[in-house]
Structure 1
């Protein structure tokens, strides 16, 4: 009887440890991937804006799956180092938007953790340089080793991950979601009536380059819009370009407040930033961005996060081609 009780206790402890690992490991992986992935997304976004003119339509980009709230960087390769941060592009397949079937892979505990919830009709987009490729989900398959991936068509997309999606380690079965290309949107496609992307303001001259928040471990939150932005504008690189300069203004304001720099009057004329703004950032707190847009005209960019437990919002507005801070709330 004594040995039986010990056995039951040991098994209970082992089951408890297994439960903790089963819940904690995916959460830890997703948290780490969110931090590293957000840096990669911003790097790709910067490359897209800078390389818009004459840029190749094939290559690394940003994958969006609105139905499961996924925004992920996509880079070449499917090694462990790549999949720890990004969605990987299978090099033997074409890039999204090209002729043929593009295959993208990710871990089941990462970006594709909720792919089993996707259904026919859901939308998937891939943004590269000035173009956004729009796909519609058409199929959902569980494949065993040796099975052939069904072709979604001449210009298709395959999302590939382990099955079941709650598996902690590699499994031989695969969850395959297939989608077909339904349209391409380009910011320079005059034939479609899309207006060119408006120029994005820069920080006033005389302000030192501020630190990149995401390189310092800050966590990217959500990008939202108020007003009535044009659909073509939302699908292009302009929102990320405005987000980037808004984040630079926020970072510069923090940097200037910490030293009470003389150039603060150039960035935030007539304003005294609160001391809390220069305080320590709470790791794991997202940095949210809201853009007020009418058509293709951006009225303001607001950065919101928590610093030392206090919510802080900084709103910047374009004035004479330069971005200046016009409101600070804490």
Structure 2
């Protein structure tokens, strides 16, 4: 899943939601919120009248409509018009869900188009000395003391490079920990410090891209943060799993925190975070850039094979109901490939082509099937209108060797005709007809009945 730094670093208060209605002989009058109280949904406000009526703040309008009903012997009781806030709540929920869907789909499309070469491009910018453009603002280009990571001015330029010898990770570090930044590289939490400033440095990354092997680190392993002129070497002291919202305590001693989602490789939302702690053991001059490891190659963008007139998002897990489990990458692939955004792209394309195939079987569209799975016979277990039930989350493994991904394998337990089966689907990656990218298609389809 994608990591949201704010949920890790800042704990959100919980508010008890309740509503009390107290009939009174006087009509309540709204005189505005109490002085110094912020308008936060879920917080209770007081209508200042005699006697007092306590109500809950409503997102659309704090001034709840009040109607008068005649009581006994001329007394007046107040009662909220329930249909008003129910209709308002329904409208608010519908608009919120629609907006969330549009934002999610738009972000997914943008993420697909941008992630393939972004990290490699940033690393190459670093190796070619792109940060030298900041030198005029701080001093001469050869004055290393004027180019610490904390003073890199360009937002699109890497501030440092993170190198983890144990896993072979080498990637750029950008300022910021928002989603757009973490889609491109490892991010530096703005509320923490850079190594040249002393104290606690917090770096965050996605557990399904750059930090997908972070759990391999053990106490005693080293982690390097390479600046333009200085390199800080840290020694791992321990790891822990904490809940989202757990605060990070600043320390005056130089230390490093690497943060990602837990469990590693989760393709589903998680409220736990994996934290690697390390202490500074050495600071030295940065070696010649030319001696640094060469950046990874740029792999072609992978898209799913689709039926005519459809889009990739039509077969997203949210649309097909496919529950996703964890993503793994074959150890036969190079370290540089495994710890980057491209395996996730192969997973997305493979999941969508499988979703399209399941829809083709359920709607009896053999022409779709032969396009999605050329050379693969139609499964005999499926009849028109047959739909499967998912009994667990689907696990996805990206396969390949060296720097060449060959496809992915999806496995899950499903229910078909009242019986459990093990579904195994393998995809392959073919070169696109235009030669500008790659296309994921189904290579093999196997449905094995499980013992009762």
Q: Give the TM-score of the pair, scaled to structure 2.
A: 0.39
Report the RMSD for the aligned CA atoms in angstroms.
5.1
Q: Distance in 1 between matches of 2:121 and 2:374?
A: 38
The counterpart of 1:296, out of the listed 390, 393, 403, is: 403
Shift of the 58–246 alpha-carbon distance from structure 1 to 2, 3 Å rule, reads farther
Are residue 256 (structure 1) and residue 360 (structure 2) matched?
Answer: yes
Q: 1:136/1:294 Cα in 2 relative to 1: closer, same or farther (>3 Å)?
A: farther
In structure 2, the CA distance between the partners of 1:306 and 1:290, relative to structure 1 (3 Å rule), is same
* Paired positions, count: 224
Contact (CA 8 Å) 1:304, 1:313: kept in 2 or not? yes
Deviations 1:275-306 (A, max 9, x none): 289624336x1211122211011122111112
For each residue in 1:111-163, what CA deviation from the matched residue of structure 2 results, as whole angstroms up to 9, or x when unmatched?
A: xxxxxxx96236899xxxxxxxx97523689xxx9x8635334xx22669xxx
**Which structure 2 segments of 5+ residues have no match?**
1-103, 123-155, 160-165, 167-175, 180-186, 205-216, 225-232, 241-246, 261-273, 283-289, 433-438, 448-452
1:149 alignment counterpart: 251
What is the rounded CA distance, in whole Å, between the counterparts of 1:264 and 1:320 in structure 2?
19
2:444 corresponding residue in structure 1 = 327
Structure with bigger gyration radius:
2
Q: State the secondary structure of the residue aligned to 2:300.
A: coil
- Deviates most, 271-280 or 287-296: 271-280
Provide the rounded CA distance (Å) in 2 between the counterparts of 1:263 and 1:249: 11
**Residues 191 and 255 of structure 1, relative CA distance in 2, 3 Å threshold:** farther
Q: After TM superposition, give the deviation of residue 245 of structure 1 in Å.
A: 1.0
Aligned to 2:390: 282
Partner of 2:426: 315
Which residue of structure 1 aligns with residue 219 of structure 2?
Answer: 120
Q: How does 1:118-197 map to 2 (within 5 A)?
A: 120-121=219-220, 137-138=236-237, 149-153=251-255, 156-157=256-257, 178-179=277-278, 192-197=293-298
Residue 199 of structure 1 aligns with which residue? 300
Instruction: For residue 213 of structure 1, report the CA deviation from its aligned partner.
Output: 0.9
Aligned partners of 1:220, 1:124: CA distance in 2, in Å?
32
Matches of 1:138 and 1:287 in 2, distance apart? Answer: 35
CA distance in 2, matches of 1:267, 1:179: 48
1:240 to 330, 344, 366: 344
Q: Which runs of 5+ in 1 are unaligned?
A: 1-38, 60-65, 67-73, 78-87, 106-117, 126-133, 161-174, 183-188
1:221 aligned residue: 325
Tell me how far apart the structure 2 counterparts of residues 123 and 214 of structure 1 sit (CA, whole Å): 40
* Per-residue CA distance 1:46-97 (angstroms, 9 max, x = gap): 46338557674789xxxxxx9xxxxxxx9659xxxxxxxxxx98652269x9
Residue deviations 1:233-258 (CA, integer Å, cap 9, x gap) = 11121211111111111111112211
Give the direction of change, closer, same or farther, for the CA distance of 1:251–1:151 in structure 2 (3 Å limit): farther
| Match of residue 378, structure 2, among 250, 256, 272 | 272
Contact 1:316 1:327 in 2 (8 A): yes
**3-state SS of paired residue (1:301):** strand
Report if the CA contact (8 A) 1:256-1:264 is conserved.
yes
CA-CA distance at 1:265 after TM superposition: 1.4
TM-score, normalization by structure 1 = 0.51
